[in-house]
Structure 1
Amino acid sequence: MNMTQLFNQVTMNKPTLKRTVLMSMMAVSFGGISLSAQAQTSAQPSQQEIEQLRQEVKALRALIEQQQVQQKQTSQVVAKIQEKAAAPAPASSPVMKLASGAEFNLYGNIRADASYQAEGGSATRMYNQINAVPLEGSGERSDEFKSTLSATRLGMDFKAPVGAGDKALSGKIEVDFLGGAGLDNLRIRHAYISYANWLIGQTWSNFAVPDYIPETVDALVYAGGSIKRTPQVRHTSTFSPATNLVLAVEDPKDATITGIKQRLPALTARLNHKFADNLSVSARAMGNEKRVNEDEKMAWGVGLGAKYEVVPGTTLKADYYHVKGDSSFVSYANTGVVAADGNLYQSEFDSITVGITQQFNDKLRGTLGYGYMNFDEDQAYINAVTDKTKSNKDLWQAWANVFYSPTKPLSFGLEYVYGEREALGAATNGSTKGEDNRINAVAIYSF
């Protein structure tokens, strides 16, 4: 490659560089001419001029080398950009669209649960049953391993345009296999449609919401909480971005009450308020009529829940209920109404759950929780109960768990739980206490 070719390649599309190199080359040329002329007039050229010429050549060489390095770096950046552009785009969520404009999104999980029951337990059921664990020495199923995939879930969200404007009808259908006594039958979890501020169908009860319950590995809630889903008609009024009021009429079916007749739905109200980005609260109220053998009593209840993020990654949750005459909304309650001697007697209780969740990193989190239920010892109610070993004075459970998610679709959980119940009456051996002592594990693949 001659000097002209090198000059053109180095200074290609670089006007500033071209001028710099040209001036340097001219300086070299003029230096040569000057040196030649001086050689004709003097036998010994100036040492100062020779050294200046060497410096100019050295500077030109350094400039050329710098340009070569810059060209190499530019080529590497361009190659990376081209490689990234050629890479396939990440997979989008599985949304199906119809010609009518309706959209469907399928989701779900495959869930495998396992449990080792050290103490307590009843029949083959592996999920929480603290209110009915056998009393000590009376039909316990201890030292037993159990497993199931009944909590595997499949769901579909949908949205469709309705009429003019940008309003849309949306909804959800979700099922699992936790229905029936055997816990292996298909059941409806959620099935509802919503439009504007209205919702019609089955979803979480407006009174017994799960938002403030500490996380568990167990697919069911522990003592003091509720995961009730009811058929309902609901309306939401938004007062501000931080405050809304939800009113609903719900089906308060209560299978624990013998001979119950349902004439009216339950009325529920929930006021939600967010004080700050890290603190939200919910106040609830409920009322419904209980009819047994043409006699009737009003059942009622109030609830208060709070969620507080102490610092990023550390969250406190608490949920409180006071309920009289109802056993349908809050889990593990005594029978709400008992008929005896032509009268109706009501159960009354207080319950609370508290817990703290720590997000250690984006893959690991853990929870410590405690739940407690205390039932009013109304002697008239106690006398009306036929089998006092199946009703309780109080229940409590404490648990600790960790969840690990190595990748987004996979999650593994491990949990230890211990709890006790104190029955209203003693078993034949004189025991009134039942224990729940077990280790739970779960593996979930979500899609």
Structure 2
Amino acid sequence: MNAKTLTQSLNFQSTTVRPTMQRTLMMSMIALSMGGMSVAAQAQTQQQTEIEQLRQEVQALRGLIEQQKVQNTQTANAIANVQRSSASPSSILKTAKGAEFNLYGNVRLDASYQVEGGAVDMPYNQIHGVPLEGNKEQSDRLRSTLSATRLGLDFKSPVGDQDLKGKIEVDFLGGSKLDNLRIRHAYLNYGNWLIGQTWSNFAIPDYMPETIDALAFVGGSVKRTPQVRHTTKFSPQTNLVVAVEDPKDKLVTDKVIDQRLPALTARLNHQFADNLNVSVRAMGHEKRVNSEEEMAWGVGVGAKYEVVPGTTLKADYYHVKGDSSFVTFTNPGVLVKDGSLIQSEFDSIMVGITQKFGDKVHGTLGYGYMSFDKDPNYIAATKDTTTINKDLWQAWANVFYSPRKPLSFGLEYVYGEREAFGPALDKDTKQPISGRTGEDNRINAVAIYNF
């Protein structure tokens, strides 16, 4: 083959092979492109699937969170309801008018063994009238009663921007036989005002040493009066309480003394320290019998001092002229002789110390004394001088035991004497048939269930 022929042959092969290789290369590129597109499509599909699964999982998780929130809210509400029920059961008790109230009270059994003294058949204090030595003395008597059993109701209702509060409390110590229902407290309290019957603003029991006797001992008072009272707070430690009260005083004949005006009482309370409280009190009112008038007045001072935690001292003092309605066990405040009023005057003091012996046991030692002015005109105006006293005193010791919170038991020994202005006289000979002294010697016991 010559050179020309070889060149022509190569040119033909080149011309023939190049299109074939181009087609092959093009087909390969198309195939590769198609494969890449397939892989990308598969990857995109898988990604969409995973995103959808993730979206479903997020929705499921959100549903669980919402469900848990609902459960937590229900649990919190249930706990709050239980706490409210436990903390303030009174809030679920309401009257038809929407006032919330709380019922409370106790069942109380009192018993007294009278070693000596006690003319009236009751287990409570009667030191001012115990029989004189040698004349109608009584001894070795057991007396008991449930008359001091108590039932009370505290209530409140929103009025304006604050609550109107009140109390109604009764027991069965009314009447001469101590078995009649009587009102102890019945009042409304709105802001700084109080209207109704409660402890007298002058003769308050806050500074009396503790006793088992429901009528207290010499030098103390458990007086409750109808009144209108206003409290002025000068500071968290100091306040002044002023009240007008109905004292409902009586003559020896049990005739109620006429009242044109109520008694005016004032009490200044001050806390000198966390463990020392003092109260200074005053009262004055008119005594009017027929057309005769006299002014009765009195002052009082009380103190409470916690010496150390668990040891408390209390003391209360009164000086009163012309009144027997506020302080207990006094001579008649006024007597009538020849159309004139003659007034009695006395001083009294009560002191005591209370000691706690743990959470369940505590006890008190106390002493009370009362001395009356020896006015000869007053003595001469008295038909029976055995009924008015020159001096009274009592001393007592008690212990209280509370095995569980609703239950409380107490035991108390008390001894006291009264000295009358005159002895008992024989009706015919008018000669003395007794001494001038009578004694009160007894043991008191109490069992209380509070609810």
Contact 2:122 2:144 in 1 (8 A): no
**Residue 431 of structure 1 pairs with residue 442 of structure 2:** no
1:92 and 1:244 map into 2 onto residues whose CA distance is 30
- SS where residue 261 of structure 1 aligns? coil
TM-score (norm 2): 0.78
Cα distance in 2 for partners of 1:251, 1:377 equals: 28
Residue 93 of structure 1 contacts residue 105 of structure 1 at CA under 8 Å; is this kept in 2? no
Shift of 1:427: 1.1
The one-letter code matched in structure 1 to 2:210 is: E
| Deviation by residue 1:329-385 (Cα, 9 ceiling, x = unmatched) | 000010000000121110000000000000111100000000000000010111011
State how far apart, in whole Å, the 2-side matches of 1:197 and 1:245 are.
11
The answer as to whether partners of 1:409 and 1:446 remain within 8 angstroms in 2 is yes
2:129 aligned with 1:132: yes
Distance in 2 (CA, whole Å) between partners of 1:91 and 1:198 is 31
Q: Secondary structure of 1:406's partner?
A: coil
- Structure 2 match to 1:238: 233
- Structure 2 vs 1, CA of residues 161 and 117 (structure 1 numbering), >3 Å: closer, same or farther? same
- Where 1:143 maps in the other structure, the secondary structure is strand
The amino acid that maps onto 2:435 is S
Q: State the Cα distance separating 1:140 from its structure 2 match.
A: 2.1
Maintained 8 Å contact 2:394/2:416: yes
Residues 188 and 98 of structure 1: CA distance in aligned 2, closer, same or farther (over 3 Å)? closer
Larger radius of gyration: 2
Task: Give, in angstroms, the shift of residue 100 of structure 1.
Answer: 4.9
Q: Give unmatched runs, 5+ long, in structure 2.
A: 1-78, 426-432
Q: Give the aligned partner of residue 449 of structure 2.
A: 445
Query: Are residue 296 (structure 1) and residue 300 (structure 2) matched?
Result: no
Partners of 2:96 and 2:382 in 1: how far apart? 60
Deviation at 1:123, TM superposition (A): 2.8
Q: Whole-Å Cα distance in 2 between the matches of residues 122 and 91 of structure 1?
A: 49
> What are the within-5 Å matches in structure 2 for residues 258-337 of structure 1?
258=253, 259=255, 260-337=257-334
Question: Contact 2:302–2:315 (CA<8 Å) still a contact in 1?
Answer: yes
Q: Is the 8 A contact 1:257 1:336 kept in 2?
A: no
- Decide whether the 8 Å contact of 2:345 with 2:373 is kept in 1: yes
- Per-residue deviation, 1:437: 0.1
Question: In the alignment, which residue of structure 2 is the partner of 1:41?
Answer: none
3-state SS, counterpart of residue 139 of structure 2: coil
The 8 Å contact of residues 251 and 335 in structure 2, kept in 1 or not, is answered as: no
**Counterpart Cα distance in 1 of 2:97 and 2:211:** 41
List runs of 5+ in structure 1 lacking aligned partners. 1-84
The code of the aligned residue for 1:186 comes to L
Call closer, same or farther: CA 1:138–1:94 in 2, change over 3 Å: farther
2:207 match: 212
Is the 2:220–2:350 Cα contact (8 Å) retained in structure 1? yes
Amino acid at match of 1:261: D
> Which structure 2 residues correspond to residues 134-213 of structure 1 after superposition, within 5 A?
134-163=131-160, 165=161, 167-213=162-208
CA contact (8 A) 1:111 1:444 kept: yes
Look up the SS of the partner of 2:378 in the other structure: helix
Q: Look up the SS of the partner of 1:223 in the other structure.
A: coil
* Secondary structure of 1:382 counterpart: helix
| Residue type of the alignment partner of 2:181 | L
Aligned residue in 2 for 1:229: 224
Deviation, structure 1 residue 252: 1.2
Q: Residue 113 of structure 2 aligns with which residue? A: 116
Q: CA deviation at 1:122?
A: 1.1
Contact 1:94 1:106 in 2 (8 A): no
* 1:283-308 deviations in Å (ceiling 9; x for gaps): 00000100112101000000000000
Output the amino acid matched with 1:179: G
Q: Is the 8 A contact 2:331 2:388 kept in 1?
A: yes
CA distance in 2, matches of 1:408, 1:279: 27
Aligned-pair identity in percent equals 74
Deviation of the 1:194 alpha carbon: 0.7
Q: Are residues 1:349 and 2:346 paired?
A: yes
Question: In the alignment, is the contact (CA less than 8 A) between 1:256 and 1:327 conserved in 2?
Answer: no
**Distance in 1, Cα, partners of 2:366 & 2:88:** 34
CA distance in 2, matches of 1:325, 1:92: 49
Cα distance between partner residues in 2 of 1:227 and 1:141: 26
Shift of 1:94: 4.3
Secondary structure class of the residue paired with 1:182 = coil
Indicate which of 367, 389, 395 corresponds to 2:386.
389
* d(CA) in 1 for partners of 2:375, 2:95: 60
Q: Is the 8 A contact 2:132 2:434 kept in 1?
A: no
Report deviation, 1:93: 5.3
Mean Cα deviation higher: 290-299 or 90-99:
90-99
Question: Aligned equivalents of 2:102 and 2:220: distance in 1?
Answer: 30
CA distance in structure 1 between the partners assigned to 2:175 and 2:249 by the alignment: 16
**What amino acid maps onto 2:260 in structure 1?**
R
**Paired residue total:** 359
SS of residue in 2 equivalent to 1:326 = coil
**Shift in Å at residue 387 of structure 1?**
1.2
Q: Is the contact made by 1:114 and 1:441 (CA closer than 8 Å) also made in structure 2?
A: yes
AA paired with 1:380? Answer: N
Q: Would the alpha carbon gap of residues 94 and 345 (structure 1) be closer, same or farther in structure 2, given more than 3 Å must change?
A: same
Aligned to 2:102: 105
Letter paired with 1:404: Y
Q: CA RMSD in A?
A: 1.4
1:261–1:98 distance in 2 versus 1, CA, 3 Å: closer
- Aligned residue for 1:408? 405
